[in-house]
């Protein structure tokens, strides 16, 4: 058990370090950029769209192309997210997908 | 006393550090369950608790860690994971660009070391502090180290508990990623323009996912969203059609 807890695969470590290097670059980018560059409004608008666009791309196949239960649960989660804090909204999403899967199994 | 001495004095006072801890304190209760969830899902993907600790310590960016986990498979697509991580963390460029001019009283070393832990919450509390007074290095560390420890402890605990939970689909936990990301997407909502960006990304991602193997759908969706945002910048209604065209092509 101890060996499992402390197991580190070399490729996993390499992947983590590659993730870390890219992430650190994005974090210090502002320290370097503010010395040299002034962002245009359009560039800033494009950069600002990056996080939601990526998140949307990640969920889209599961959310819209898996089944009715997943698509409906996605809509419920989105509405819950507008009104509730993060964790209750996630909980509602998870509970609704379980209920919807069960309900649709009987249809 | 020379000015360097003054810098040290302002930046290292223990009370500033304690103020930072206090500012972050309520967020401990929000971060811990997310950390537990991350650890549990990481265990399902076969990561050991030490690997979870290493990822949390070196990357320290929750959203991208969840994304990496979602892409985690055999054989490990390390390049896709590294690239997706980098793309999703591009928002840090905006954060550090906005915060850096407010920290001119920090030393260069403090800036480059401190920004290693510039997570979303740390950035938000630092910006908030800078509105009222100076964000000292001590305050920043108080916030950052508290989040750092919360994240490492909760994710490792989650990975130790998660390995005995069994199949996540049984509890609908396979949907937890999707639900988390939908909540995060909604937190970026700023009206109709965001809707167009999301529609472009969603369409491009589903289309690419259907016809192209691998994780290219994330790159395609991200590109479509960015293009949609850039096109919309001059705010003419006709551009919505163009954005949808971009998403379809």
The neighbour count for residue B83, using CB atoms within 10 Å, is 18
* pLDDT single digits (tens) A86-105: 789 989 999 999 999 999 98
Q: A86 and A63 in one domain? A: yes
| Mutation site, B74, B182, B202, B236, interface A, largest A CB count within 10 A | B182
| Mutation site, B175, B177, B197, B207, interface A, largest A CB count within 10 A | B175
Residue A54 lies in a domain: yes
Tally of structural domains, chain A: 2
Q: Which of B58, B87, B100 sits opposite A17 (nearest CB)?
A: B58
Statement: residue B125 has pLDDT above 60: yes
Residue A61 lies in a domain: yes
Residue A59 lies in a domain: yes
Residue A67 lies in a domain: yes
- A5 Cβ contact partners less than 8 Å away, ≥ 6 residues apart: B48, B49, B50, B160
Q: A104 and A55 in one domain? A: yes
DSSP character at residue B104: T
User: What are the domain boundaries of chain B?
Assistant: 3-169, 188-248
Residues of chain A neighbouring B82 (CB-CB closer than 8 A): 15, 18-19, 22
């310590």: which residue's tokens? Answer: B57
Say if the Cβ atoms of B201 and A50 lie within 8 Å.
no
Q: A99 and A70 in one domain? A: yes
Residue A43 lies in a domain: no
Minimum Cα–Cα distance from A43: chain B residue: B230
ipTM confidence score: 0.80
Residues of chain B neighbouring A9 (CB-CB closer than 8 A): 51
Query: Is residue A77 within 8 Å of A89, Cβ to Cβ?
Result: yes
Residue A82 lies in a domain: yes
- B235 Cβ contact partners less than 8 Å away, ≥ 6 residues apart: none
Query: Is residue B96 within 8 Å of A27, Cβ to Cβ?
Result: yes
Q: Which of A41, A60, A73 sits opposite B202 (nearest CB)?
A: A60
Query: Is residue B189 within 8 Å of A55, Cβ to Cβ?
Result: no
Q: A55 and A33 in one domain? A: no
Q: A65 and A89 in one domain? A: yes
DSSP character at residue B45: T
Pick the closest to residue B87 from B67, B113, B111 (CA basis).
Answer: B67
Task: State both tokens at B85.
Answer: 């991580």
Query: Is residue B59 within 8 Å of A20, Cβ to Cβ?
Result: yes
| Residues with pLDDT less than 50, chain A | none
Per the structure, the complete domain to which residue A19 belongs is given by 1-37
- pLDDT band, residue B77 (cuts 50/70/90): very high
pLDDT given for residue B50 in this prediction: 97
Q: A96 and A63 in one domain? A: yes
Residue A3 lies in a domain: yes
Q: A91 and A67 in one domain? A: yes
pLDDT given for residue B3 in this prediction: 47
Q: A61 and A102 in one domain? A: yes
Q: Which of A14, A25, A30 sits opposite B100 (nearest CB)?
A: A30
Residue A42 lies in a domain: no
* pLDDT single digits (tens) B29-72: 778 888 998 999 899 899 999 999 999 999 999 989 998 998 89
Q: A106 and A58 in one domain? A: yes
The number of residues making up chain A comes to 107
Task: State both tokens at B7.
Answer: 């810098």
pLDDT given for residue B165 in this prediction: 65
Say if the Cβ atoms of A56 and B63 lie within 8 Å.
no
Chain-wide mean pLDDT for chain B? 86
- pLDDT band, residue B237 (cuts 50/70/90): very low
Query: Is residue B68 within 8 Å of B177, Cβ to Cβ?
Result: no
Residues of chain B neighbouring A56 (CB-CB closer than 8 A): 185, 197-198, 201-202, 205, 221, 225
Residues of chain B neighbouring A33 (CB-CB closer than 8 A): 93, 97
Minimum Cα–Cα distance from A27: chain B residue: B92
pLDDT given for residue B188 in this prediction: 83
* pLDDT single digits (tens) B155-181: 999 999 986 766 666 677 778 878 888
């Amino acid at each position: 058990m101890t060996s499992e807890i402390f197991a580190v695969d070399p490729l996993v470590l390499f992947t983590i370090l590659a993730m870390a290097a890219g992430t650190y670059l994005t974090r210090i980018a502002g320290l370097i950029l503010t010395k040299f560059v002034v962002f245009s409004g359009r560039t800033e608008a494009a950069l600002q769209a990056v996080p939601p666009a990526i998140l949307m791309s990640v969920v889209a196949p599961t959310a819209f192309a898996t089944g009715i239960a997943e698509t409906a649960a996605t809509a419920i989660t989105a509405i819950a997210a507008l009104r509730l804090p993060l964790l209750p909204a996630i909980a509602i999403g998870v509970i609704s997908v379980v209920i919807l899967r069960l309900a649709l199994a009987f249809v | 006393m020379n000015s360097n001495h003054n810098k040290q004095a302002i930046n290292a006072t223990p009370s500033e550090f304690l103020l930072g801890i206090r500012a972050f304190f309520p967020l401990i209760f929000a971060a811990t369950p997310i950390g537990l969830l991350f650890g549990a899902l990481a265990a399902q993907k076969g990561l050991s608790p030490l690997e979870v600790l290493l990822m949390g310590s070196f990357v320290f960016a929750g959203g991208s860690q969840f994304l990496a986990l979602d892409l985690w498979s055999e054989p490990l697509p390390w390049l896709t994971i590294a690239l997706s991580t980098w793309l999703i963390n591009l928002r840090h460029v905006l954060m550090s660009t906005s915060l850096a001019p407010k920290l001119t009283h920090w030393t260069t070393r403090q800036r480059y070391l401190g920004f290693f832990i510039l997570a979303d919450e740390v950035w938000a509390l630092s910006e908030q502090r800078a509105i009222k007074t100076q964000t000292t290095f001590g305050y920043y560390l108080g916030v950052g180290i508290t989040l750092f420890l919360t994240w490492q402890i909760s994710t490792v605990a989650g990975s130790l508990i998660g390995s005995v939970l069994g199949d996540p689909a049984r509890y609908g936990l396979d949907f937890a990623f999707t639900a988390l990301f939908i909540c995060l997407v909604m937190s970026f909502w700023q009206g109709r323009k965001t809707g167009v960006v999301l529609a472009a990304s969603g369409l491009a991602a589903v289309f690419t996912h259907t016809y192209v193997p691998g994780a290219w759908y994330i790159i395609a969706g991200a590109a479509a969203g960015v293009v949609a945002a850039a096109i919309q910048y001059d705010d003419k209604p006709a551009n919505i059609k163009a954005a949808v065209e971009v998403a379809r092509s």
